[in-house]
C-alpha cells in the first residue's frame, strides 16, 4: 500500500506514475500563477457571460423573460441603450465600456428545468465557450445542482430564480450567490399580514409539493402563522406534477380548516389554485368566517396562468415593476421600451445579478474569481430596484425588503395582476445563518482542468 | 361518511376523465395495432381548439390613447373587445359559454387533423414494427407540441367554465345527506360527458354495420378485405374518431386544468397505463381500468391511508398496474394474442 | 459461451475504437469536441448498447431502463460519500446494485411479454422515480439530487489522505475523472470500448443466437422443450448492468445523482436512441445516442445572436429573414428539429441511421451486394 499525499486541488498518488505525470504539471502551474489565474479568465477583447435559462419545459416563458433581461444588462454594460438601472445603481464602478475594458458577449443554454441538462449546458458554456460566469435558472433543484458544479469548476454562479432555503442554507457554496429571497423570508413577511387580514384565530390546512422546496416553504409558513396564533389542522404532501389535485382538495372541505395554504409553485400552483377555487373554497363559510386561500410564492406568469382564480390571493414577491423607487423606474423604463412589456420578477433578479457580477469585477479590478467573490461578499448597494440591499458574506444571501402582494380584483391588463400590499423591511426578514448548517467551502481558484 | 362519499365521487370523476382520455388511444391501439405516442398531442390540440376559439371571441381592437402613458413612457394601448361590440349581449353569452361551444369547432378540426394524420403518416406504419411507430409518433408529438408552443407560449392559458357552472353543486342535498358534500358543477358535467361519449363510441362499434365491419377488421383484416370491403377507409374513419374523442376530452378538460403545450405529454404515460391495465383490444377494459385507477388513486390520497403507508398516493397507479398485470395475464379484459409479442 | 469474432468484426471493433478515441479531434468541426459532451456521448452510448442487448436481440421493449441508470448513479455517489473518491469501488457498487435491481424487476416483468412487459417495466421505473423524488429523500436527497458534502465520512480516503480544502474530485488512482477535462473523457471512452467489445461478443455467441431465436419465434422455442426464461433473464440483467455502469460513469464524471434520471422520459430517451440508430445493430445505438445528445447540447445553444454572427457576411436585409427562420429550429426550437429528425429518419430509413449507412456502403460497392446487409449484425428491427 502506497502512501498518498494530497495537494489542495486534488489527489496525487506518489505510487501511481501515470497519475503523477498528469497531475504534476497542474501543480506547478498552480504554484506559479495561483495569485491571479482562475478558470476562463478572458484573454482577448471580450468577456463571455453564460446565461443558463429554461427554454423548453414548463418554465420556458419565465426563462425567455430572464434572457431578455440578461440581454438588456449586456447592452447597458457595454454602454448601449439608455443605461437602465446603471444610472441609479449606488456603485459607480461600471463605466459603460464593458467590464474592465472588455466588451461583454454572451452565450446561452437550455436548462430544461432538469439538473442534468442544466449542468450539461453549463459545462458546455464553461468548457467550450469559455464563459467566465454562469447565471440563470428558475428552480431550486437546478440552482443547487449548477451551483455545486460551478464550485467544482471554479466559476462564479449568480442564481436567478430560486426560492428554497437550501440554496444559501445547507447547500450554500463559495462560488454561488443569490439575489432572490427565500422561503423563510416569505413566511416571516406573510405571517403578520395574514393575521391582520384574516384574524388571529384561524385554522390552516397545507397542501405541499412533496419535495425539498415545498417542505421548507411549509415549515416556514407553519412557524410564522402559528406565531400569530393560528393552528395547523393538517399538512398534506402532494406529488410533483399531479395535474389534478382534486383528491387532495376534497378532504379539505370538511376538515374544519378555514384557510388553505398552497405550497406549490409553477404549473402545480396554477392547477391546484384553479381547482381549489372550483371546489367553491372562495365562497365557503367555515367557523363563521370566510374561507381563504394563500399562496406563499407566486409570480406574474403564474398569476396569468391562474386567471381569475388569483384575485384576492395573498402571497410574497421579490420585486414588482410597479414599485415606486428610482432603480425600479429606470429598469422598467428601459425594459419596457425595448420589449414592449414590463419585466417580471425573474427578469429583475436576472438583470440585477448580471450587473452585480460585472460591478464586482470592476471593483476588484480583476476577473480572478476569489477576488470577485470577496468584492461581492458583504457588499452593500442600492438603486437596483429593491432598496438598500446587502450581500451577506456568511451565506451569500441578499437581504432586502420583501413584498407582500395580493391578486388584483380589477386588473387593467395582463401585466397588472398583482398589487403590493406591504413592503416588509429587510431587518424583519434577516435571520442567523448558523443554524441552517452548510459550509461555503474554500475560495480556491481553479484553472479549468 | 361524508369523506368517503366525497372520495368515491372524486374517484368516479377522475376515472371518467382517465377513461375518456384513454378511449381514443385504445381505439387506435386495439383496432389499428398502432402504438400512438402522439395521442397526448391530440388531447392537447383539442384543448387548444378551445383556447383558440376563446381568443377569437375575445379578439380586441387596439387603439392608442395618447393621453395615457405606460410606465416606460410610450402611449397606452386601449383594447376593446370586437365580438362583444358586434353582437352585444349575445356576444357576452357566447364568450361565457366558449368552452362547451368550442366542441362544435373542435369536432371538425380534430376529424380533419386525424384524417390527415392517418392518411399522411400513420397508414404507412400499420405493417411496420412497433419500434418505428413509437419513433415516428413521438417525433410527431414533439413537432405538434413545439408548433403550439411557438404560437401560444409555454405558460398555461386559463379557460373559465360558464359562470353558471363555475360553482359547486350540493350533491349531498340531492342524495338527502345534508350539505357536507359539495362538488364542482363542471366536474360533474365532465363525468356525464365522458359517460355519454364512451356510450356513443360503444354504440357505434356495437350496433352499426360500420362498427361491425371495423370490429371484424380488427380480428382478421385479410378476410374482410377478401369480402370486397375497403377496410383501409374504415380504419381512417376510426382514427378520425379517436382524434375527435381525444380532442373533445381536451376541450372539456380546459376549465379543470389550464392548458399548456406540454399537457399532452403529461397525460401520455397515464393513458398508456389505463389502456394496458384494461387489456389490449378491449374498449370495456380501458373504461373499467380508468374508473378503477381513478377510485383507487382517490382513496390512496386520503390522509388516513397516507399516514399508514407514506407515499402510497405517489405510486398507487403503477402499483395497481403491476398487481393487475401479474394476476391477470392480459389485463382486465384483454384479448389473447393482441400485442403480446 | 463466447464465439469467435470474424475478421470483419475485428475491423469494425478497431474502427469503432479509433473513432471513439480520436473523437476530440474528429468532432472539432461540428463543435462537439469539449469534454462534457464527449463524456455524454460515451455514457449514453454505453447505456444504449446495453439496452440494445435486450431490445435488439430479444425484442423485449423495456420502458423502464432509466431506473437502473438512476440506481447506478445513486450507488456511485454513495460510494464517493462513504468510502472513497476512487471510481473503481463506485463502479463495482453501481453495477452490483443495478444488477440486483434488474434481477428483481426482470424476474417479475418477464412473466409477461409484449406491451404488458413494457408497461410493467415502466411502472417499476415510475415508482422508483416518484419515491426517489419524495419519500426516499433521506436516501436520494430528492429534488436537489444526491451530492458530495464536506461532512462526508469517506472512510477509506480518510485513512490515507489528509483532505484538502473544498470537495475532492473523483479519480482513478490519482488521475482526476470529474471536474471536466480530457482524462474524464478517456476514462468513459475506454469503458465504452470495453462495453462495445463485450456486446459484440454477446451478439456473436451462441447465447446471442439463442436470444435472436427467442425474438423470431418464442413459441417454437418453447414447443421444442426449451425454457426461454433464463435466457431472457440473463439478457435483461446484462442490459441492467450496462445501465448501472453508465449511471456510475455519469456520477464519476459529475458527482451528482438526481431523481429525474429515472423518469419515464429518460427511459423513453434510450428507446429513441436505439431505434434512431438502428435496433439490433452494433454501432447504431451509439450513433443514436450521440445524435440526440448533440441536438440537446449544441442545437439548443444557437441563439439569434450566434446566428447573426454566423451569417454576418450576408447583407442585413437578407440576413434578418434567414436568421428569423432558422431561429425557429435552433435555440429554444431545438426539440422541434429533433422531432423532425425522428420523423424523417423513420420515414426514409426504416432501419434507423445504420440503414442509411448500409445503403451508402452498398452504393459504393456498386450495388453488387446491395441486397446483402453490409453492416454486420444488422437484423430486422424488433417487434
pLDDT tens track for C116-146: 999 999 999 999 999 998 889 889 988 888 9
Q: Is the pLDDT of residue C376 over 60?
A: no
CB pairs under 8 A between A and B: 135
Q: How far is CA C351 from CA B125, B127, B131, C342, C360, in A?
A: 13, 14, 10, 12, 13
| Separation of alpha carbons A348 and A70, rounded Å | 9
Contact B180, B199 (CB under 8 A): no
Name residue C233's beta-bridge partners: none
Write out pLDDT tens, residues C97-113. 999 999 999 999 999 98
| Predicted-complex ipTM score | 0.91
In chain A, which segments carry CATH 3.40.50.2300? Answer: 46-181+321-397, 184-317
Write out pLDDT tens, residues A23-76. 434 433 333 344 578 889 998 899 999 999 999 888 888 999 999 999 999 999
Task: Calculate the CA dihedral of residues C207, C208, C212, C218 and round it to 10 degrees.
Answer: 20
Residue A10 pLDDT class (50, 70, 90 cuts): very low
Higher pLDDT, A373 or C115: A373
pLDDT, position C366: 60
| Separation of alpha carbons C378 and A174, rounded Å | 52
Count of C-beta atoms within a 10 Å radius of residue B63: 10
Residue C305 pLDDT class (50, 70, 90 cuts): confident
pLDDT, position A367: 94
With the C-alpha atoms ordered B205, B207, B208, B209, is the resulting torsion angle positive or negative?
A: positive
Average pLDDT (A279-285) is: 89
Write out pLDDT tens, residues B18-52. 999 899 998 888 778 888 999 999 999 999 999 99
Q: Residue B131 and residue C383: Cβ atoms within 8 Å?
A: yes
| Separation of alpha carbons A252 and A233, rounded Å | 10
Residues 15-34 of C with CB under 8 A from A: 31, 33-34
Residue A279 φ then ψ, to 5°: -80, 15
| Separation of alpha carbons A91 and A384, rounded Å | 10
Q: Residue B314 and residue A267: Cβ atoms within 8 Å?
A: no
Residue A69 buriedness (CB in 10 A; 0-12 / 13-18 / 19+): buried
The CA radius of gyration of chain C, in Å to the nearest whole number, is: 22
Q: Is the pLDDT of residue C10 over 80?
A: yes
Q: Is the pLDDT of residue C178 over 90?
A: no
Write out pLDDT tens, residues A387-415. 999 999 999 999 999 999 999 998 888 88
| Separation of alpha carbons B249 and B293, rounded Å | 18
pLDDT, position A31: 37
pLDDT, position C137: 87
Average pLDDT (B157-178) is: 84
pLDDT, position A8: 41
Residues 45-104 of C with CB under 8 A from A: 85
Q: Is the pLDDT of residue C378 over 50?
A: no
pLDDT, position C23: 94
Residue C303 pLDDT class (50, 70, 90 cuts): confident
Length of chain A: 449
Say which DSSP state B155 is in. S
Q: Of the candidates C268, C126, C211, which has an alpha carbon nearest to the alpha carbon of residue B35?
A: C268
pLDDT, position A35: 53
Length of chain B: 341
- Strand bridging mode B75-81 / B168-170: unpaired
Question: Of the ranges A29-38, A184-193, C266-275, which one carries the lowest mean pLDDT score?
Answer: A29-38
Write out pLDDT tens, residues C139-151. 998 888 899 988 8
Residues 335-354 of C with CB under 8 A from A: 335
| Separation of alpha carbons C293 and C190, rounded Å | 19
Q: Of the candidates A145, C218, C220, A104, which has an alpha carbon nearest to the alpha carbon of residue B340?
A: C218
Contact B133, B125 (CB under 8 A): yes
- Strand bridging mode A292-297 / A314-317: parallel
- Strand bridging mode A285-286 / A259-263: unpaired
What is chain A's mean pLDDT, rounded? 88
**Which residues of chain A are within 8 Å of residue C27 when distances are taken between CB atoms?**
none
Q: Is the pLDDT of residue B178 over 80?
A: no
- Strand bridging mode A389-391 / A380-381: antiparallel
What is chain B's mean pLDDT, rounded? 88
Say which DSSP state C161 is in. -
Residue A19 pLDDT class (50, 70, 90 cuts): very low
Residue A252 pLDDT class (50, 70, 90 cuts): very high
pLDDT, position B341: 65
Measure CB to CB from residue B139 to each of C116, C119, C343 and give the nearest one: C343
DSSP, collapsed to helix, strand or coil, labels residue C196 as helix
Average pLDDT (C359-367) is: 80
Q: Of the candidates B10, B7, B16, B8, which has an alpha carbon nearest to the alpha carbon of residue B196?
A: B16
Quickly list DSSP for C351-383.
T-HHHHHHHHHHHHTTTTTTTS--STT--PPP-
pLDDT, position C367: 52
Residues 323-362 of A with CB under 8 A from B: 329, 332-337, 340, 342
DSSP, collapsed to helix, strand or coil, labels residue B37 as coil
pLDDT, position A226: 95
Write out pLDDT tens, residues B123-144. 899 888 888 898 899 999 999 9
pTM assigned to the model: 0.90
Write out pLDDT tens, residues A122-178. 999 999 999 999 999 888 889 999 999 999 899 999 999 999 999 999 899 999 999
Q: Which chains touch B (3 or more CB pairs under 8 A)?
A: A, C
| Separation of alpha carbons B288 and C5, rounded Å | 53
The shortest C-alpha distance from C187 to chain A (Å) reads 13
pLDDT, position A26: 41
pLDDT, position C217: 80
Task: Calculate the CA dihedral of residues C49, C50, C51, C52 and round it to 10 degrees.
Answer: 50
Domain boundaries, chain B: 2-57+64-327
CATH of A46-181+321-397, one of 3.40.50.2300, 3.40.50.300, 3.40.50.720, 3.30.9.10: 3.40.50.2300
pLDDT, position C80: 95
Q: Residue C131 and residue B280: Cβ atoms within 8 Å?
A: no
| B312–C contact, CB cutoff 8 A | no
Write out pLDDT tens, residues B239-260. 999 999 999 999 999 999 999 9
Q: Of the candidates B148, B140, B253, which has an alpha carbon nearest to the alpha carbon of residue B193?
A: B253
Q: Is the pLDDT of residue B213 over 90?
A: no
Write out pLDDT tens, residues B329-341. 888 988 776 777 6
| B174–C contact, CB cutoff 8 A | no
Cβ-count burial B266-300 (b if 16+ within 10 Å, e if not): bbbbbbbbbbbbbbbbbbebbbbbbbbbbbbbbbb
With the C-alpha atoms ordered C364, C367, C369, C371, is the resulting torsion angle positive or negative?
A: positive
Average pLDDT (B149-178) is: 86
Q: Is the pLDDT of residue B182 over 90?
A: no
CATH class of the structural domain A184-317: alpha beta
Residue A300 φ then ψ, to 5°: -60, -45
Count of C-beta atoms within a 10 Å radius of residue A229: 11
| C145–A contact, CB cutoff 8 A | yes
Contact C193, C229 (CB under 8 A): no
Write out pLDDT tens, residues C198-237. 999 999 999 999 999 888 887 777 788 888 899 999 999 9
pLDDT, position A2: 41
Contact A333, A81 (CB under 8 A): no
Write out pLDDT tens, residues B55-110. 998 888 888 888 888 878 788 878 787 877 788 888 888 888 999 999 999 999 99
Average pLDDT (B170-182) is: 78
| Separation of alpha carbons A361 and A185, rounded Å | 29
Contacts of C306 (CB under 8 A, 6+ apart): A107
DSSP, collapsed to helix, strand or coil, labels residue B63 as strand
The shortest C-alpha distance from C277 to chain A (Å) reads 22
| Separation of alpha carbons B177 and A395, rounded Å | 57
**Which residues of chain A are within 8 Å of residue B20 when distances are taken between CB atoms?**
none
Q: Is the pLDDT of residue C83 over 50?
A: yes
Amino acid at each position: 500500500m502506497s502512501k498518498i499525499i494530497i495537494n489542495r486541488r486534488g489527489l496525487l498518488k506518489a505510487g501511481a506514475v501515470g497519475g503523477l505525470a498528469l497531475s504534476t504539471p497542474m501543480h506547478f502551474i498552480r504554484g506559479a500563477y495561483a495569485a491571479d489565474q482562475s478558470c476562463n479568465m478572458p484573454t482577448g477583447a471580450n468577456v463571455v457571460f453564460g446565461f443558463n435559462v429554461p427554454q423548453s419545459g414548463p418554465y420556458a416563458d419565465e426563462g425567455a423573460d430572464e434572457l431578455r433581461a440578461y440581454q438588456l444588462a449586456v447592452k447597458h454594460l457595454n454602454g448601449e441603450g439608455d443605461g437602465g438601472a446603471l444610472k441609479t445603481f449606488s456603485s459607480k464602478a461600471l463605466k459603460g465600456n464593458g467590464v474592465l475594458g472588455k466588451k461583454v458577449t454572451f452565450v446561452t443554454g437550455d436548462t430544461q428545468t432538469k439538473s442534468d441538462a442544466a449542468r450539461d449546458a453549463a459545462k458546455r458554456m464553461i468548457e467550450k465557450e469559455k464563459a467566465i460566469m454562469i447565471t440563470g435558472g428558475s428552480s431550486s433543484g437546478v440552482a443547487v445542482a449548477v451551483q455545486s458544479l460551478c464550485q467544482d469548476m471554479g466559476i462564479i454562479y449568480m442564481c436567478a430564480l430560486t426560492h428554497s432555503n437550501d440554496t444559501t442554507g445547507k447547500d450554500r457554496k463559495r462560488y454561488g450567490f443569490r439575489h432572490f429571497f427565500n422561503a423563510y423570508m416569505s413566511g416571516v413577511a406573510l405571517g403578520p399580514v395574514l393575521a391582520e387580514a384574516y384574524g388571529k384565530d384561524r385554522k390552516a390546512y397545507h397542501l405541499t409539493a412533496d419535495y425539498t422546496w415545498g417542505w421548507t416553504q411549509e415549515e416556514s409558513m407553519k412557524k410564522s402563522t402559528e406565531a400569530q396564533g393560528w393552528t395547523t389542522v393538517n399538512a398534506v404532501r402532494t406529488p410533483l406534477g399531479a395535474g389534478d389535485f382534486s383528491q387532495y382538495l376534497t378532504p379539505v372541505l370538511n376538515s374544519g380548516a378555514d384557510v388553505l395554504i398552497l405550497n406549490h409553485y409553477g404549473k402545480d400552483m396554477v392547477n391546484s389554485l384553479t381547482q381549489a377555487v372550483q371546489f367553491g373554497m372562495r365562497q365557503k363559510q367555515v367557523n363563521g368566517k370566510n374561507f381563504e386561500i394563500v399562496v406563499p410564492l407566486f409570480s406574474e406568469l403564474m398569476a396569468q396562468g391562474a386567471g381569475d382564480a388569483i384575485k384576492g390571493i395573498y402571497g410574497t414577491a421579490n420585486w414588482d415593476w410597479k414599485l415606486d423607487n428610482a432603480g425600479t423606474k429606470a429598469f422598467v423604463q428601459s425594459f419596457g421600451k425595448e420589449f414592449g412589456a414590463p419585466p417580471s420578477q425573474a427578469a429583475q433578479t436576472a438583470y440585477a445579478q448580471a450587473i452585480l457580477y460585472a460591478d464586482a469585477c470592476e471593483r476588484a479590478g480583476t476577473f480572478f474569481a476569489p477576488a470577485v467573490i470577496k468584492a461581492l461578499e458583504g457588499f452593500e448597494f442600492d438603486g437596483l430596484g429593491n432598496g438598500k440591499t446587502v450581500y451577506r458574506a456568511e451565506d451569500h444571501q441578499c437581504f432586502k425588503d420583501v413584498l407582500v402582494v395580493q391578486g388584483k380584483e380589477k386588473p387593467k391588463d395582463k401585466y397588472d395582476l398583482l398589487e403590493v400590499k406591504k413592503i416588509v423591511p429587510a431587518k424583519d426578514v434577516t435571520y442567523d445563518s448558523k443554524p441552517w448548517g452548510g459550509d461555503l467551502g474554500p475560495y480556491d481558484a481553479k484553472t479549468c482542468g | 361518511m361524508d369523506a368517503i362519499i366525497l372520495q368515491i365521487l372524486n374517484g368516479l370523476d377522475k376515472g371518467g376523465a382517465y377513461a375518456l382520455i384513454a378511449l381514443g388511444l385504445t381505439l387506435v391501439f386495439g383496432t389499428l395495432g398502432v402504438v400512438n405516442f402522439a395521442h397526448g398531442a391530440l388531447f392537447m390540440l383539442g384543448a387548444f381548439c378551445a383556447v383558440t376559439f376563446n381568443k377569437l371571441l375575445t379578439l380586441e381592437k387596439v387603439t392608442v390613447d395618447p393621453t395615457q402613458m405606460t410606465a416606460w413612457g410610450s402611449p397606452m394601448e386601449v383594447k376593446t373587445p370586437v365580438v362583444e361590440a358586434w353582437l352585444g349581449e349575445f356576444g357576452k353569452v357566447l364568450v361565457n359559454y366558449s368552452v362547451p361551444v368550442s366542441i362544435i369547432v373542435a369536432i371538425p378540426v380534430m376529424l380533419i387533423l386525424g384524417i390527415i394524420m392517418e392518411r399522411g403518416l400513420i397508414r404507412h406504419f400499420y405493417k411496420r414494427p412497433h419500434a418505428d411507430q413509437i419513433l415516428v409518433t413521438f417525433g410527431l408529438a414533439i413537432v405538434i407540441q413545439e408548433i403550439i408552443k411557438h404560437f401560444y407560449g409555454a405558460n398555461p392559458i386559463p379557460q373559465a367554465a360558464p359562470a353558471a357552472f363555475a360553482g359547486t353543486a350540493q350533491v349531498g342535498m340531492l342524495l338527502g345527506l345534508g350539505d357536507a358534500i359539495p362538488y364542482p358543477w363542471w366536474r360533474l358535467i365532465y363525468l356525464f360527458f365522458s359517460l355519454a361519449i364512451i356510450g356513443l363510441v360503444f354504440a357505434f362499434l356495437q350496433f352499426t354495420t360500420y362498427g361491425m365491419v371495423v370490429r371484424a377488421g380488427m380480428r382478421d383484416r385479410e378476410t374482410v378485405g377478401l369480402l370486397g370491403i375497403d377496410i383501409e377507409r374504415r380504419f381512417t374513419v376510426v382514427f378520425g374518431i379517436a382524434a375527435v374523442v381525444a380532442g373533445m376530452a381536451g376541450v372539456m378538460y380546459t376549465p379543470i386544468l389550464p392548458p399548456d403545450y406540454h399537457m399532452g405529454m403529461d397525460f401520455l404515460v397515464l393513458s398508456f397505463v389505463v389502456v394496458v391495465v384494461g387489456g389490449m383490444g378491449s374498449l370495456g377494459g380501458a373504461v373499467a381500468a380508468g374508473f378503477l385507477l381513478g377510485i383507487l388513486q382517490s382513496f390512496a390520497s386520503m390522509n388516513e391511508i397516507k399516514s399508514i403507508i407514506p407515499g402510497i398516493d405517489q405510486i398507487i397507479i403503477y402499483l395497481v398496474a403491476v398487481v393487475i398485470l401479474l394476476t391477470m395475464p392480459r389485463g382486465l379484459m384483454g384479448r389473447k394474442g393482441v400485442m403480446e409479442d | 459461451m463466447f464465439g469467435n469474432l470474424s475478421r470483419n468484426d475485428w475491423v469494425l471493433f478497431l474502427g469503432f475504437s479509433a473513432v471513439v478515441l480520436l473523437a476530440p479531434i474528429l468532432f472539432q468541426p461540428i463543435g462537439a469536441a469539449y469534454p462534457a459532451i464527449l463524456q455524454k456521448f460515451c455514457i449514453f452510448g454505453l447505456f444504449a448498447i446495453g439496452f440494445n442487448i435486450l431490445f435488439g436481440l430479444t425484442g423485449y421493449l423495456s420502458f423502464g431502463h432509466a431506473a437502473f441508470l438512476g440506481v447506478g448513479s445513486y450507488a456511485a455517489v454513495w460510494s464517493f460519500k462513504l468510502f472513497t473518491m476512487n471510481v473503481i469501488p463506485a463502479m463495482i457498487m453501481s453495477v452490483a446494485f443495478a444488477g440486483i435491481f434488474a434481477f428483481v424487476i426482470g424476474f417479475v416483468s418477464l412473466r409477461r411479454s409484449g406491451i404488458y412487459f413494457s408497461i410493467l417495466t415502466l411502472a417499476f421505473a415510475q415508482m422508483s422515480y416518484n419515491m426517489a423524488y419524495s419519500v426516499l429523500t433521506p436516501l436520494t436527497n430528492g429534488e436537489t439530487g444526491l451530492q458530495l458534502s464536506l461532512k462526508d465520512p469517506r472512510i477509506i480516503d480518510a485513512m490515507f489522505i489528509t483532505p484538502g480544502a473544498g470537495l475532492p474530485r473523483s479519480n482513478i488512482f490519482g488521475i482526476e475523472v470529474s471536474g471536466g477535462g480530457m482524462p474524464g473523457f478517456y476514462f468513459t471512452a475506454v469503458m465504452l470500448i470495453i462495453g462495445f467489445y463485450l456486446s459484440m461478443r454477446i451478439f456473436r455467441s451462441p447465447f446471442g443466437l439463442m436470444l435472436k431465436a427467442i425474438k423470431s419465434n418464442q413459441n417454437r422455442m418453447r414447443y421444442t422443450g426449451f425454457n426461454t426464461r433464463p435466457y431472457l433473464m440473463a439478457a435483461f440483467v446484462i442490459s441492467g448492468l450496462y445501465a448501472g455502469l453508465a449511471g456510475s460513469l455519469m456520477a464519476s464524471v459529475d458527482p451528482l445523482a438526481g431523481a429525474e434520471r429515472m423518469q419515464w422520459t429518460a427511459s423513453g430517451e434510450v428507446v429513441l436512441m436505439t431505434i434512431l440508430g438502428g435496433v439490433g445493430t452494433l454501432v447504431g445505438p451509439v450513433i443514436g445516442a450521440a445524435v440526440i445528445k448533440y441536438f440537446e447540447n449544441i442545437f439548443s445553444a444557437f441563439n439569434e445572436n450566434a446566428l447573426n454572427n454566423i451569417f454576418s457576411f450576408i447583407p442585413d436585409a437578407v440576413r434578418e429573414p434567414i436568421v428569423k427562420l432558422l431561429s425557429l429550429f435552433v435555440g429554444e426550437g431545438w426539440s422541434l428539429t429533433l422531432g423532425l429528425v425522428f420523423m424523417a429518419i423513420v420515414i426514409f430509413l426504416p432501419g434507423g441511421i445504420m440503414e442509411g449507412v448500409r445503403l451508402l456502403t452498398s452504393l459504393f460497392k456498386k450495388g453488387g451486394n446491395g441486397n446483402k446487409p453490409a453492416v454486420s449484425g444488422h437484423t430486422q428491427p424488433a417487434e
